[in-house]
Amino acid sequence: MRIEMAERIEQIPPYLFAEIDKKKEEIRSKGVDLIDLGIGDPDLPTPKPIIDRLKKAAENPKNHRYPSYEGMIEFRTAAAQWCERRFGIKLNPVTEVLSLIGSKEGIAHIPLAFVNPGDIVLVPSPGYPVYRVSTLFAGGTPYFLPLRKENGFLPNLSEIPETIARKAKLLFLNYPNNPTSAIAEKSFFEEVVAFAQHYQIIVCHDAAYSEIAFDGYQPASFLEVEGSRELGIEFHSLSKTFNMTGWRIGFAVGHAEIISGLGRVKTNIDSGLFQAIQEAGTEALNHLDTPLPEIIITYEKRRDVMVKGLQEIGLEVDCPKATFYLWIGVPKGFTSSQFATLLLERAGIVATPGNGFGEAGEGYIRMALTVSEIRLKEAIERLKRIQF
């Protein structure tokens, strides 16, 4: 029997990080000691109070049954209260908060609720690959907004043609930004609100890195800006904030109708999030102050080691104010993929080619600060020994 994939699958390339995993295994099988700076997966442990709450909750038989589709009201209330403490925004936990099986899941499903075949979705490039893929799954057409260094890696909304803006249904944003580590101030979000109001576009802000910031900087929420609550939704993740990537828990907040639309998709696709994990998430949001100081101190030290080392070698990299990523210009004569391959084969260092995040990412590689300082110093020494 001949198996044929659906057209929507054929137009989607293999997931970037799955492909990187294949290359890693190939090199590792040759006995190479890899320093993996590829995927943004924190190496630090989940705080003990969260783990203890999970253990206790997992033993409760009531948590062994189907959870509620929208999420436990206790978890949604904790999320709302956290948003009020952190950003000063008041949310109704019943209508304006939705639990997610990780923020990636919510981002992947939001176009299914609002995008019809042929509709345009405004997608940053470079950007998290799921923005584009989720648009394609919904039958939408991505229109890429280039993020350029000269504009602080913010999209220039005035460059969007009128005909495109009028057809757009969604706008994806992500600050602090993956992969560029750029930040956005409230003045930019105000510009976004004015643009979205004019063209009646739903804004989807991915705030996964809001709690990974340095030197006293505190990223803003898109929902802090006047008018944003009438047209936007924001995705939050416990993954980076509390070192819970494997737990798969996050939440969406914002306009009640947008939350409702996403919720209708989820009720038909999944059966909710394991309640014991929601109880653990409630513990995290209610009892741990964010950002967690020990996490920030660790990443700051790693950032300083790598930025200093890379700049001494002659690579172009700015010192980021947020995220645990470094966005590094590749040397002349290399493409992003060529330089990432060189680092892997000659130095045993895994980095992500910038063009994997979109065409506008060409000319860069991304490194994640998710290994120890000792390993980062070793990476710098290895880099000094190769010619580029």
Q: Give the Cα separation of 243 and 48 in Å (integer).
A: 11
The Cβ of residue 85 has, within 10 Å, a number of other Cβ atoms equal to 12
Whether residue 141 is found in the same domain as residue 205: yes
Residue 2, in any domain of the structure: no
Its domain, for residue 28, covers: 7-45+292-384
Bridge partner list, 325? 368
Q: pLDDT tens digits, residue range 273-302?
A: 999 999 999 999 999 999 999 999 999 999
Kindly give the pairing relationship between strand 232-237 and strand 202-206: parallel
Q: Give the Cα separation of 346 and 172 in Å (integer).
A: 37
Give the model's pLDDT for residue 213: 98
Whether residue 247 is found in the same domain as residue 328: no
Q: Model-level pTM? A: 0.95
Whether residue 24 is found in the same domain as residue 113: no
In the chain, pLDDT over 70 holds for what percent of residues?
98
Instruction: Tell which of 287, 321, 336 closes a domain.
Output: 287
Count CA atoms within 13 Å of residue 308 on its CB side. 9
Q: Give the Cα separation of 327 and 177 in Å (integer).
A: 10
Whether residue 134 is found in the same domain as residue 272: yes
Q: Give the Cα separation of 54 and 352 in Å (integer).
A: 33
Q: Calculate mean pLDDT across residues 309-314.
A: 97
Whether residue 162 is found in the same domain as residue 297: no
Would you place residue 24 in the very low, low, confident or very high pLDDT band (cuts 50, 70, 90)? confident
Q: Calculate mean pLDDT across residues 111-117.
A: 97
Nearest to 324 by CA among 227, 243, 203: 243
Query: For residue 192, what is the enclosing H or E element?
Result: helix 186-199
Give the model's pLDDT for residue 25: 81
Token duo for residue 3: 């198996």
Q: Calculate mean pLDDT across residues 328-345.
A: 94
Does residue 251 surpass a pLDDT of 90?
yes
Q: Calculate mean pLDDT across residues 118-146.
A: 97
Q: Calculate mean pLDDT across residues 338-360.
A: 93
Whether residue 208 is found in the same domain as residue 263: yes
Give the model's pLDDT for residue 308: 98
Does residue 15 surpass a pLDDT of 70?
no
Q: Residues 199, 204, 210, 212: is their CA dihedral positive or negative? A: negative
- 364: phi then psi, degrees, rounded to nearest 5: -135, 160
Using CA atoms, how far residue 188 sits from 196, 214, 221, 225, 332, in Å, is 12, 20, 12, 10, 32
Kindly give the pairing relationship between strand 352-353 and strand 97-100: unpaired
Would you place residue 17 in the very low, low, confident or very high pLDDT band (cuts 50, 70, 90)? low
Nearest to 356 by CA among 123, 10, 125: 125
Token duo for residue 208: 């996964």
Q: Calculate mean pLDDT across residues 17-46.
A: 85
Q: Calculate mean pLDDT across residues 141-167.
A: 98
Whether residue 119 is found in the same domain as residue 262: yes
Residue 109, in any domain of the structure: yes
Residues 6+ apart with CB under 8 A from 199: 165, 166, 168
Using CA atoms, how far residue 278 sits from 24, 211, 322, in Å, is 33, 19, 27
**How many domains in the chain?**
2
Instruction: Tell which of 264, 287, 310 closes a domain.
Output: 287
Query: What is the secondary structure of 229-281 as a DSSP string?
Result: GGTEEEEEEHHHHTT-GGG--EEEEE-HHHHHHHHHHHHHH-----HHHHHHH
Q: How many helices (H) and strands (E) does the chain have?
A: 14, 13
Give the model's pLDDT for residue 32: 84
Q: Give the Cα separation of 81 and 92 in Å (integer).
A: 10
Give the model's pLDDT for residue 16: 66
Whether residue 162 is found in the same domain as residue 122: yes
Give the model's pLDDT for residue 73: 97
Q: What is the CATH number of the domain that holds 22?
A: 3.90.1150.10
If DSSP codes are grouped into helix, strand and coil, which group holds residue 373?
helix
Residue type at position 232: G
Q: What is the CATH number of the domain that holds 178?
A: 3.40.640.10
Give the model's pLDDT for residue 320: 98
Residue 236, in any domain of the structure: yes
Query: For residue 305, what is the enclosing H or E element?
Result: helix 293-313
Give the model's pLDDT for residue 249: 98
Query: What is the secondary structure of 71-87 as a DSSP string?
Result: --HHHHHHHHHHHHHHH
Nearest to 125 by CA among 145, 99, 148: 145
Give the model's pLDDT for residue 126: 98
Ramachandran sector of residue 313 (left: φ over 0; alpha: ψ -120 to 50; beta: rest): alpha
Whether residue 180 is found in the same domain as residue 306: no
Give the model's pLDDT for residue 380: 98
Q: Calculate mean pLDDT across residues 343-369.
A: 95
In the chain, pLDDT over 90 holds for what percent of residues?
89
Q: What is the mean pLDDT of the chain?
A: 95
Q: Calculate mean pLDDT across residues 173-202.
A: 98
Q: What is the dihedral of CA 55, 58, 61, 67, to 10 degrees?
A: 140
Would you place residue 128 in the very low, low, confident or very high pLDDT band (cuts 50, 70, 90)? very high
Does residue 14 surpass a pLDDT of 90?
no
Q: Calculate mean pLDDT across residues 126-150.
A: 97
Kindly give the pairing relationship between strand 364-368 and strand 352-353: antiparallel
